Structure 1
């Protein structure tokens, strides 16, 4: 059985996140289940495989999935839809690829070439990525991973088989992609390509310590995090005439407990992936401190990004070491902001003094 990566162990101890147990989805037999935010639908059968019980991981339908299985359990397709509040398709494909390859209980995997871009249904360019593996040491013979952008949503498809070799399975995956219920209109997305490794190193200078906080800085930090975590707000704030899509690289050299990524050409910020469903930590120079000049020295913000909220922790005097993030997550955040639904901002009363 294919199972999704659980949240990183560092998240389990974070007071910012109350673990929500997945809730079964009430989908009617023989009818498609429609994702209410995007219009995407999960059909009752998919290339001959029957839909099983679906689960809502984050309400309201911000992260959900269904499995499809053959009657003899020789083949399974898992289809996930979740919100993308940071990063890019190449970045989150790389995270999911790492998860697939790390799961030794499903056998040893040999990638069948590099990730390939393709044009998904309803789109006009190669915005999606796919990769297949040959599996040994398991009842499974092959598996594929597909990641497709759909506006502010990602559609991830895991497809595994006991019978098909990898080339045959990839053809069946293509049939499954075409048979899913895609919305009539899908926002254009950038061309996708496998993420490249960063060619330089992060600028790190020891353990980061909290700087003196101010009420104004905390509020501005919250407002900026709310905008950064909402794709619609990001588009409104950007100037499309001069801003190109952000390109990320994978930092393979940093001493990090989980996947670390940076915008290409930067050495003073990073994004730490905490799960393969879009949850991440963003550490970067604090725009609030720069705007307000409320500290004498530069400061760095640390923000936990989830499907519905962003949590801001105390600003630091330098870029935190990736190994410090576990300890920072155990602190109480100074603010939390909604990036979905009602735009609520909650501030720690102590931070406003």
Structure 2
């Protein structure tokens, strides 16, 4: 019933965006299925709905999901678990909210109030967000979206019903949240509030041009990207305890498939989601250029963030226009860095020439 946001057709030709086909998960009937990285488990039934389908979207268990469905198909819950390598709960909730509201094939949605924060099982702050909609023009009567942080992972719950009105559905969603198999220990997460709109425009200055290839710069960018995409590495940094979580804002002036986001108070960087499951393009002033004392020729890094790897493209001489992202992603990445597993860094000599 639920389909994630598809990548734009023009991006599917990018080698970096080539995705594996989702693989069916063989879960033993009557037994919970455990997510080996977090300890989260998918029970065989959920508030009376039977677990009917599971898929591993990105191996090894970096993005997976299960569906739960009523015997008469009147109600369905989809539970996703995937890595959060960028952004925040409010940011990715906003992306998923837009996906729900723009899918016209499932009817017209009217939000039931505004997104509300709540304290999920095993946590001490209202770190999760939830919103429900009334549906017209469809067999469905209501739907809801819930996003919960779980350490380095996100748990997303989509719940829809033919029979329940939205208030009743959200009560059942809360019951489903409580009935899922949560780990005994979950890292503390900041309180969540619905994302605010940016108040100032991006500082765009025309088409961004590639800068001259620089092997040292590219290698430093890859190392930094690997650290940024690996939350465990960030937590081990000396100043991690004092770090203030980034507050993001949504740039509604830029119209693209899944919105545009930036840290509040900045105009020289942005995150452009390509899906509602954490895939995004991140461009910012090059930290490598600053570290290598290239102050006279500043550049902007452009990275594609996926569940297990970050791809770095040739730097640009200014902040790329959002409309340039498609073309950049068709280029050969200069480097790529694994953010899961062996932590390998690859350098494409052909892209460096």
**Mapped contact 1:222–1:337 kept (Cα < 8 A):** yes
Higher deviation after alignment, 252-261 or 269-278: 252-261
| Alignment match, 2:23 | 23
| Alignment match, 2:194 | 194
| Alignment match, 1:46 | 46
Q: Deviations over 1:122-163 (max 9, x none)?
A: 001100000000000000000000000000000000000000
Higher deviation after alignment, 290-299 or 180-189: 290-299
> By how many angstroms is 1:166 displaced?
0.3
Q: For residues 158 and 241 of structure 1, do their structure 2 counterparts lie closer, same or farther at Cα, with a shift above 3 Å needed? A: closer
**Mapped contact 2:270–2:282 kept (Cα < 8 A):** yes
Q: Deviations over 1:36-94 (max 9, x none)?
A: 00000000000000001200000000000000000000000000000000000000000
What TM-score comes out, normalization by structure 2 length? 0.98
Aligned residue pairs total 353
> By how many angstroms is 1:290 displaced?
1.1
Q: Hey, what's the Cα distance between the residues in 2 that align with 1:4 and 1:297?
A: 40
> By how many angstroms is 1:229 displaced?
0.5
**Mapped contact 2:120–2:128 kept (Cα < 8 A):** yes
| Alignment match, 2:173 | 173
> By how many angstroms is 1:6 displaced?
2.5
**Mapped contact 1:311–1:333 kept (Cα < 8 A):** yes
Q: Deviations over 1:328-348 (max 9, x none)?
A: 000000001100000100001
SS in structure 1 at match of 2:267: coil
**Mapped contact 1:255–1:323 kept (Cα < 8 A):** no
| Alignment match, 1:342 | 342
SS in structure 1 at match of 2:28: coil
For 1:74-93, what aligned pairs fall within 5 Å after superposition? 74-93=74-93
Q: For residues 45 and 89 of structure 1, do their structure 2 counterparts lie closer, same or farther at Cα, with a shift above 3 Å needed? A: same
Q: Hey, what's the Cα distance between the residues in 1 that align with 2:241 and 2:98?
A: 35
**Mapped contact 2:268–2:284 kept (Cα < 8 A):** yes
Q: Hey, what's the Cα distance between the residues in 2 that align with 1:58 and 1:35?
A: 13
**Mapped contact 2:334–2:352 kept (Cα < 8 A):** no
Moved over 4 A (4+): none
Q: For residues 51 and 255 of structure 1, do their structure 2 counterparts lie closer, same or farther at Cα, with a shift above 3 Å needed? A: closer
1:8 aligns with 2:8: yes
> By how many angstroms is 1:200 displaced?
0.6
> By how many angstroms is 1:295 displaced?
7.0
Q: Hey, what's the Cα distance between the residues in 2 that align with 1:14 and 1:198?
A: 30
Q: Hey, what's the Cα distance between the residues in 2 that align with 1:256 and 1:289?
A: 29
| Alignment match, 1:124 | 124
1:316 aligns with 2:316: yes
**Mapped contact 1:218–1:351 kept (Cα < 8 A):** no
RMSD: 1.3
Q: For residues 253 and 82 of structure 1, do their structure 2 counterparts lie closer, same or farther at Cα, with a shift above 3 Å needed? A: same
| Alignment match, 1:305 | 305
> By how many angstroms is 1:234 displaced?
1.5
**Mapped contact 1:216–1:352 kept (Cα < 8 A):** no
| Alignment match, 1:110 | 110
For 1:84-233, what aligned pairs fall within 5 Å after superposition? 84-233=84-233
**Mapped contact 1:35–1:41 kept (Cα < 8 A):** yes
What TM-score comes out, normalization by structure 1 length? 0.98
Q: Hey, what's the Cα distance between the residues in 2 that align with 1:238 and 1:161?
A: 48
**Mapped contact 1:212–1:295 kept (Cα < 8 A):** no
